[in-house]
Amino acid sequence: MGTTVIGQTVSHYKIVGQLGQGGMGVVYQAEDTQLGRHVALKFLPEKMASDATALQRFQREARAASSLNHPNICTIYAIDQHEGQYFFAMELIEGEPLTKKILDRTFSIEQILDMSAQIADALEVAHAKGIIHRDIKPANIFFTTRDQIKVLDFGLAKQVFDQSKSGEEAPTSVEELTATGTTMGTVSYMSPEQARGQITDARTDLFSLGTVIYQMATGNAPFPGETSAVVFDAILNRDPVPPLLLNSKLPPELQRIIEKCLEKDRSMRYQTAKELRTDLLRLKRDLESGSRPTASESGSKSGAAPVRLSENALVVLYFENLSGAKEDEYFRDGMTEDIITELSKIKDLKVFPRPTVLPYRDKTVTATQVGQQLGAAYVLGGSIRRAGNRLRINAQLVDARTDFPMWSERYDREMKDVFEVQDEMARNIAQALRITLSPQEVQELERKPTANTQAYDFYLRGRSYARRLTRSDLELAVQMFERAIELDPEFAMAYAGLSLVYSLFFEWHGKEPATMEKALATCERALSLQANLPEGLGARARINYTQHKYDEAIGYARQALKLKPDCESANWCLGQAYFASGRFADAMNISASVVEAAGDDYNVYVPLMVSAEKLGMTEKATEFRSQQTRMIRHHLDSVPEDVRARILLACNYAAMGNAHEAVAELKTAVALRPKDANVLYNAACAYALLGRKQESIALLTRSKEAGFLNLDWATKDPDLTCLHDEPEFQALITAERAAGR
């Protein structure tokens, strides 16, 4: 239909004028002669009217959009046709597109948060109905004369349905994506999965919304380029310029929100629009109440006031491993974490916990960037190089507000001096920040786990292997801890680590009485050397958990955590004991402290996830799963051989609906450890989450044959919910109970 239609009456609509034209429709202003109101009519273009696929898409758009009723979504009034041409009547909006608003003015932070929350609210309603917009961009978002957001044109929306039933498939290439008439989203606002031609989901809209928020906040597109090829490359392979570098007035928290929206891996993005909206509204509330500083208040290179979060808020970045040896990564990580622990003993310092720092590991960032993003006044970074028994450490403390070095030092020492270096570093930092240490703090800093640094080196190796749970990794952990004890027979933490590993062996790789006897003996030895050793109490908690004495396990784990909040063996065991005993709410109550202390121990998230799912806290479970996924992906970059991490990643992908990635990861893990009970059990969980019951049952059977099936866990595990009523699953459980396990 052309401009000649103006003045004509279509059905009971008198067309007044043309409003616009896009790839999926021509829009006119019209008067509804029956109801006496002005509306917008959208017609399928004539050139596409004979295209059956385009017609089906238009009809699907109309059905999908007409089911939405929300103040931030353009309302669809009716669907009709005129002389063989389909159209629908929709709300006529008085206002202007966000595109023009972005060009005309700079938004206040409050406006950005408010508008973004409105868009997220609209998407939340659409996603709840199985509708994905797929073309979120400023041109499809109107700012009304009443300062209200309206999301328009669900012309690219699709209902989420079973592909095998619908016959619809995602585009398979960039060429198909950009073909005339089939573009699934405007290039600059596309998600990586759209650019790759993969199937889209709700998280696709959240990426696109992230690009819109970025543009509102900075005035620039996050992925600029003069050609589609350049833009595609940026979306797929490049990170945008940090928003704070383009607009220093932004709150650091808003940058975090934007960056989470723009994660290239959708499993690391916000998983729901509700989750995003909650963060936006929380930040708006905090800014209005004055409880959180803006970037200008936090300080920048221009030199503003100190961070009120704490004048001595300090971030310790993971030191760079200059030796280049992969086997030195565990030492670098352990050294950095020890420095964090040492500095945390100084009460006048607010030291950010390990999980906060992990995303920056092995990334090139400046102290100013980190300080602005986290709201920290100071950043400590450096490098470590090991060569035989020699150790070189370079450390520098930087004022994140001015980028001015507060203190720096180079240590050329022997390995045996590593604890003295940590002690000296903590004292020098306190002095640089004009903090006076109390006698108790001095005493705490002087306390060392062992006088033998080589023993400590083996201890760090053992701790790294122990987290992985596979038989071969636990065997290596035993060797490392035993070697540490040979070098220092009084090394209490090494005995505690050995006890923990024996308990894990008993739990996951066959319940041999001799193994439990070793666990008990080494635990007693650890506690006889140091009565209140947190790691020793954590080992005793694990022994009780393994013996199904959950109340005792909880008691010992709590004792350990009271003494050392980041005692990872105790945090993990406490969560597991709460879950196994059905105390899911208690597991949720400790979740914040557990996550804060987690470091790179991905195991602690497992009982939190399953407890949240048992309580019906789906969003919380998804949040835990996303956090663990991010941690594991970072971890696998440096330790790709960690099969335990890989199989947990497979389970997460399965839970998130990423079947291809899940199957790829679990097949790799099973191929690497085909007879490991832990790996086989978790592979069964991944298949169960994908609804592939027979494959899951087969792997559970193999897990049992490999020596383990934890009844208390498997019968409660929400990952296996689809199997709980299956006769084959019940038969496995019955057989285990008959065997007394």
Active site residues: 135
Give the phi and the psi of residue 392 in degrees, each rounded to 5.
-120, 125
Mapped onto helix, strand or coil, the DSSP state of residue 415 is helix
SS (H, E, C) 660-690: HHHHHHHHHHHHHCCCCHHHHHHHHHHHHHC
Alpha helices in 375-529 (DSSP H): 418-432, 439-446, 453-466, 471-487, 492-508, 513-529
In the block, tokens 């491993």 appear at: 321
CA distance 256 to 261: 9
- Give whole-number Cα distances, 104 to 93, 95, 216, 453, in Å: 19, 14, 11, 63
CA distance 603 to 575: 10
What are 652-661's contacts with CB under 8 Å, separation 24+? 652/267, 652/625, 652/628, 653/267, 653/629, 653/686, 654/685, 654/686, 654/687, 654/689, 654/690, 655/625, 655/689, 655/719, 656/266, 656/267, 656/271, 656/625, 656/629, 657/201, 658/266, 658/267, 659/690
At a CB cut-off of 8 Å and minimum separation 6, what does 326 contact?
A: 638
Check residue 287 and give left, alpha or beta (phi > 0: left; psi -120 to 50: alpha): alpha
CA distance 225 to 237: 13
* Residue 19 near residue 93 (C-beta atoms within 8 A): no
CA distance 721 to 651: 14
- Closest residue by Cα to residue 206 from 139, 112, 274: 274
* Residue 557 near residue 538 (C-beta atoms within 8 A): yes
* Residue 423 near residue 385 (C-beta atoms within 8 A): no
Compute how many other C-beta atoms are within 10 angstroms of the C-beta atom of residue 432: 15
CA distance 465 to 586: 29
Q: How many residues does the chain have?
A: 741
DSSP structural state of residue 726: -
DSSP structural state of residue 395: E
- Closest residue by Cα to residue 24 from 173, 183, 169, 177: 183
SS (H, E, C) 524-580: HHHHHHCCCCHHHHHHHHHHHHHCCCHHHHHHHHHHHHHHCCCCHHHHHHHHHHHHH
Alpha helices in 29-86 (DSSP H): 46-49, 52-66
702: tokens are 């193999």
DSSP structural state of residue 603: G
Q: C-alpha 50: how far from its chain's center?
A: 46
CA distance 339 to 380: 10
In the block, tokens 């723009």 appear at: 262
- Closest residue by Cα to residue 202 from 147, 279, 265, 127: 127
Alpha helices in 132-251 (DSSP H): 163-166, 174-177, 192-195, 202-218, 228-237, 243-246
